Structure formats: C-alpha cells, structure tokens
A and B are shown apart, each in its own frame.
Chain A
C-alpha cells in the first residue's frame, strides 16, 4: 500500500510501476509465475531422464511436493516434462523434493504387490548446512548467514569436490552438480552412472570416508587423527590449513572469550599445555585469536621437551609429531566439512530439487559452477521477485517485433547464467550416457 501512495505523488516511472507490480503479488502468485515462465523444464527433464527419449529414470522417479498448506505429498511421478509442468502449475508446490528411481512408477505404488516396490537408483547426494557449524561460528546462528560464515561452505565444497571428482583424485566421478539450497547450505548431486547405482552400503562407505567430525555436543573433542595421514586427509589438510587463519582466527575469532578458548583448549589432551595457555590468556584476554593461536603453537613446541626430563632425539621427534597431530585435529574440528550423513546414506532419501524457490528467502536454488566456488555469493543469488521484476523491465524496453526470435523469459533476467551452466552440465551428462549406450550396443553386436 505504501508504495502505491508514493506512486500517486510522484511522476511514475516504469521502474516504479514494475516494482509495484511485483510487490502486490502474493508468494503463491510469484511461485506460479516462476513455474510458468522460468523453471528450466527441458534441461531438468533431460537431467533426470539421462537421455532425450523417455526412460524409466524419469518415468519411475519419485517427486514429492510440499503444498502451500504444508501438506506433504509423496510418491508423485510424471510421464514427461509437460506433465510435470502441468502438475506444478496446478498444485504450485512450495517445495519439490526428488527421490529415487523405483522398480515401478511411484504413483502406482499402492497397486503394487508387497515388496515389489523398491528403489533401484539415485544420484549420490550430499547435504551441508551451516546450522551444523553453530558451535564454531559466531557471526550468525540458526537460519542466518553472511559472507563470513559462508566460507565454511566454500571450504566444504572445495574439499569434497576434490575428493569425489576426477581421475586424479579418490573417487573419479565426473558429473557433480553443486546447488545452493536457498538459505544456509548446499547440496551436491553426483550424477555418474556408477554413483547412481550405489546401494546403501556403498553410499555409507563414501560418506564415512569423507566424514571426520564425530560426536555430539556432549563430546568436546570431535576429531581424532592417526599417523601416517591417509593421502585424502593430507590433501584435505592443506586446504584446511590454507583457510584456517582467515576463516577461524580472523573472521570467527574462535578464542575471543574464556568460554570459547576453553572450548578450543579441550581439544588438547594434555592438561599441562592447557593450563599454561589458560593462565597466559586470563591475564591478557584481549589478545585476538590470531595471537592466541601463535601462543598455542609456541606452547605445543615447548611441550616437546618435558620439564626436568632428558629425552632422546627419537622420543623428541615422536612427541613433536604427536603435538603436530593435535594442531591438525583442532584445525579439522573447526573448519573441516560437516555432513548430514543420513541424507547421503539411504538411496530413497528425498532431497530438495534444484530450481526450487526457498519459501522464506525467496531465493532460487541455483547450481553453483565449480570454477567459481570461491566467488559464489549467496546473498547475490536472484530471488523470485527480482527475476519477475527484471523480466517486466526487459519486456517494457523491448516491445515484441515480428520475425524476431522469441526469447526465453529466464534469458531476460539474472537467472540466465545459472540456467546456462545447468544446460551445459546436462549436455555433458547426456554425452556420457550416449557413449555408454553406444559401447553397450557394440558389445552386443560383437556377440
């Protein structure tokens, strides 16, 4: 209402008009426009179908909707992109979840004989959420995020992406789609044939290979490393060490208050070292975390030689190694990725689809290009309101001329680069599927 009054007093511009148009839309209306004009049905269908002609991968895929009245509907399935679009426009779900590919169409589940309805394939998925970092971040808590704490997510993406992607590293997957979850986290969809075929044990094994942070709030020390360090941990450590100073010490100032430094000191099993540092910091509490970290490094170094005991070189180097391990454990505990293991471990677990609109932020759950993890800024991700506004603006300035190619609506908005990246990603997935199909055909011809 307020903006309407302003409009009547001032000369109206198209900007104001379009803003006013967007402002008066209800959330539900915005969602409907999004599903009508922006949702990238074609690449989305190709992605989940893994081919251009219809396959079971799409037909037997479970979708679940959270309807505007908070009713949750499971086991939906659709013939093709068109049927999906019609259903989205009819129900206008606030959230779409993607589940597994089943032995039969999920919507026919109720007609299926007992035990015949089973999940057979799904992307391996990983879910990382900033709420799991609440004990180590202090800039924000719960649902809030800022660029400072988003860095935790950046570190997580970099470490996990390295471990999973490419022939040079551990698992050798190719098709990893990172998606912003719309508020305070990211999802990763690993779409390789091999990943989609993993059973629950395979999923659990990978996730436990990645997971380092163990134990709940009742357990202070959550990381235990043993020497020699596994190559994947050695590599992860280099990344952790690279970010640690800026992220943990400068941005989060993890040792600013007695309460917070006591917490960190609990990761050091030796009481003598803890006491020395505690004493020092109690007299100079204002030293910032970077200085306190230097103190800690110094204390660890001093502790190699025990007071009053003459130790051999060999013992000394063993002790130095053990103390170095403690340092790494602390660094891991503060910034190594924290995963929601349950989401990954079960083939039939549901996960929010890319290109949903987050119900409270209004942001689009956009894919994050892997060459740009570092620069991804969640606060700059377009909201449904922004893109509707951008589209109206563009349409005003570019009246339709006959004979001209009709542009897709997303191309008129800041959603464009994200859809473009998604299309490229899907093309790569399709290409791989084609190669695999041809190889299979060749094999049967040979026989």
Chain B
C-alpha cells in the first residue's frame, strides 16, 4: 500500500488543480528547477493547498530520514527516493516541458519549502532536523542535475563567480599534478578545472579524505563542487531558519496558520494504518504507535515509558524488542524504531552502549547467533525481576494494587466491580487469567468471563486483538 493512500492525500498534482483554480493572482515564473530558496513565495494559496503541499514535502523529508537511518545501499536508496520524489515532489527539467506541469511543480516545491520553514523554525531540535533533511533533499536533486544545469544553477546564484576567481592556472595545475590525481582519482585530470578554497568550505570532502589539501587550502575539482554548494545551502538555510523563528509571531496575525503548523511537526508518515497483510513482515517502525491499542498491558507500559523517557533499560528493551519482532517488525525496522525512539541519545552513545548490538543480538545476528523467540508470560512473570528504573515485567504481577487499578481504568475498564474482579485474580496469583479477563472486557463481545482460553503469551494477546479488530471492521462493511 502506498504512503499516499495511508495519509489519504489526493493523488498527483493534476487532481489538485481543481482546488486551486480560483486563486491565480501573482503567479511567479520559475525559470530553473532548483533554487536556494532565497526569495519567499508571493503567491496566494488556499488552505487546502497549504496543507497538502506541506504534507507532501514532509513525507519526502521523512523518507530521507528513513533511508538514512536504514543505511541502505546508495543504489537502492537512490532508486527508492526517485520514486518518492516523482510521487510527491516531482521537478522536471525545462526540456521535458509540455507533458509535465513544470511551473506548478516548481511552485509547489517553492511554497512547501517555505511552509515547512515556518513549522520547523521554532525550536533548535526542529531546526536541526529540518536542516539535515532539506540538505539531503537538495543534495540528491543537485547531483541528479545535468552538467549544464549545474553550471546554470551556479551562475544564477552567483556561486560560480565565487570560485572562478581562484581557479588554478595550467602551470599551478601541472605543478600539483601528482597530488591532485591521487587525491581526486575519480576525475579526468586533463580536462578538469580545479579551484582553491579554504578547507572549511568543503568539510565533506576533507572528512572522506578525497581532496588535496595544502596549507589549509583545498584544491577542488569542478566535479566535486557539490560540496561547496551544499555548504552555501546549509549556511543560508541555517541562518534564515533562525530569522524566521524571530519573525514568526508576525506571520500569523489571523490565527489561521498556526494550528496547521502545530499539526505538521507532529505528523508522522504511516498514519491511519489498517492493513492486515502488513502483519507478516510488512510492519514499519512508524506503525508501532498505531498498533499499541492491540498490545497487552505489559507492552503498552513499555511503549509508554519509551516515549516518555526516550530510553528503556536493558531488560525492558529485550522484552519489548522481542515482542515487536513477534509482531512482525524486521531487524532493519527494529533498528530504525529504537534509533528514533532513543531520540535524546546521540549516535555515538547509541553505538557505544551497544544498543544496536543488543537489538541485532535479539534477532540472532550477533554473539552466539541464537534466534530468540519473544518471551512468554511465564518468563516475563518469573525471570529478571524488575529493579530500580526498570519497566519490564508483567503489570498484573509487578504493579501495586493501586497502580494496577489505575492502569486498568485508563485502559478502558471503568467498572469498579470488574476491576475488583481482576485484582482478586491477581491476589490469587492467577496473573494470566487476570490478563485474559482484561482482554475480554476490552474487546467487546464476551462480557461473560471464561469464554476464551487463558492467554499465555503477549504475542497471542496481540494477534487475538488484531484479528478481532479486522473481523469487526469487515463486519461493519
């Protein structure tokens, strides 16, 4: 199922034309495909467009985030991102004109960038996120331009002029021949033009040791100027984001825009999940939030704490990760899920603390390579008693009575008599029956107890709950 269907957005740009038909004032003309977004749009725009443009761009940025987190091969991600871009934010060249609405494509690209700028300028965290993935998007597009388009772009933005003054002449070039050819082996030395910049301007090349540096100057082949362009793009956007933040209070004097902006930064791709074939290995990290309503209390609790603390201790991670594996989360998606969930942990710590290792370990990819199964109720109840700061275990076994009542109440068991009944099972050490009763009470149908066999595994709880929701949604149709 496509993302587009999941978010319920209209398809393609043409279908949207109808909505925008009445607003045709101040149409800007876009002569080139790509720009540094220095001038804001002076267009009028409908609220619908405002919303759909920004959601489409956000979907693209989220997809960039996902591909980077997933660590896919370059070729694989390139193919995938090309598809995503074609669907949500296409930008065709001047040559391909006629068939494609290139002016509308460019308008959408332009406007959506500026809307998200508004939505993502408000905190340092949001700014950093937006900057990172806008840069990824820009770089992806710039590299895909033809050589002549790149040149055109540099001219138009005065970037070409910037480096033109410090081109190496033939003598300098030949004096450095050996160093230049070994530093930039991917270029054709004879026909290539090199220019000189401070190494700080091309950090990406320095980092990968693919440029010749001498005395603090980097000697960059034209072919690698994308590094320079990226530096320019990043710096400009970084600065304007901060400016936008300061100006934000004046932007929305009518109070129409803010509510949408607020929604935007809570948006996650993959909302409205409702597809049964996903369960078999098709679940993505983005689906977990929607699925929690089918989770037993132990897993809901772990999920809640993970969201609150942006962290879970070792046994909590193990219990929850193995459960999610049973639900159908692939290793790749599990890594992504945990990486995103530990949002306050930086990459270094995430590696150092062996979080990623443990996740792979659970999937049998590390150490003695046992492919671990999800823990059953018996093990959750009896092994590894939770200690200070731990959130794993079984709520029926490890929660205080007051705490459990409260949790049950929040989970939808509001009848005091029913809560009492569950607490009585707990007191008699019948934790599984208590959990099963909780299932019955929260899944319509059997208000009478004892209609179903006791649940002995958290994944069993999930599957039953999930199935029953599928059946009832079919029944309703």
Contact = CB atoms under 8 A, between A and B. Distances in A.
Contact of A172 (B183, B212, B214): B214
A169 B216 CA distance: 8
B199 A171 contact: yes
A204 interface: yes
Contact of A168 (B207, B209, B215, B348): B215
A201 B231 CA distance: 11
B206 interface: yes
Contacts of A342: 348
B182 A234 contact: yes
A170 B124 CA distance: 34
Contacts of A230: 182-183, 209-210
A228 B348 CA distance: 31
A91 to B, nearest CB: 31
A369 interface: no
B345 to A, nearest CB: 14
Given A205-B203, A209-B206, A171 B182 contact: no
Interface string A162-185: 000011111111000000000000
B185 interface: yes
B293 interface: no
Given A168-B214, A170-B213, A204 B348 contact: no
Contact of A228 (B182, B200, B208): B182
Given A171-B199, A231-B179, A204 B214 contact: no
Contacts of B206: 205-206, 209
Interface string B199-242: 11001101111101111110000000000000000000000000
A15 B27 CA distance: 93
A115 interface: yes
A206 B348 CA distance: 17
B207 A209 contact: yes
Given A115-B124, A206-B206, A228-B185, A169 B214 contact: yes
A229 interface: yes
Interface in B438-456: none
A204 B208 CA distance: 11
B282 interface: no
A198 interface: yes
B203 A202 contact: yes
A171 B200 CA distance: 10
B50 to A, nearest CB: 29
Given A115-B124, A228-B185, A171 B216 contact: yes
B182 A198 contact: no
B214 A202 contact: no
Nearest to A228: B182
User: Which of A115, A168, A170, A208 is most buried by chain B, counting CB atoms within 10 A of its CB?
Assistant: A170
A170 B216 CA distance: 6
A238 to B, nearest CB: 14
Given A202-B203, A208-B207, A209-B209, A172 B215 contact: yes
B215 A167 contact: yes
A206 B216 CA distance: 11
B240 to A, nearest CB: 18
Nearest to A192: B216
B4 interface: no
B160 interface: no
A228 B213 contact: no
A84 to B, nearest CB: 32
Interface centre among B199, B204, B208, B212 (most CB of A within 10 A): B199
Contact of A232 (B203, B209, B215): B209
Nearest to A231: B179
A231 B124 contact: no
Interface in A242-274: none
Nearest to B207: A205
A438 interface: no
Interface in A194-233: 194, 198, 201-202, 204-206, 208-209, 228-233
A194 B348 CA distance: 26
B181 interface: yes
B216 A172 contact: yes
B315 to A, nearest CB: 23
Contacts of B200: 194, 198, 202
A170 B181 contact: no
Contacts of A194: 200, 216
14 contacts: A168-B215, A170-B216, A171-B216, A173-B216, A194-B216, A204-B203, A204-B207, A205-B207, A209-B206, A230-B182, A230-B183, A231-B178, A231-B183, A234-B182
Interface of A: 115, 166-173, 194, 198, 201-202, 204-206, 208-209, 228-234, 342
Q: Which 8 A-B pairs have the closest CB atoms?
A: A172-B216, A172-B215, A167-B215, A205-B203, A205-B207, A228-B182, A205-B206, A170-B213
Interface of B: 124, 178-179, 181-183, 185, 199-200, 203-204, 206-210, 212-217, 348
Given A202-B200, A209-B213, 7 more contacts: A167-B215, A170-B215, A171-B213, A230-B182, A230-B209, A231-B178, A231-B183
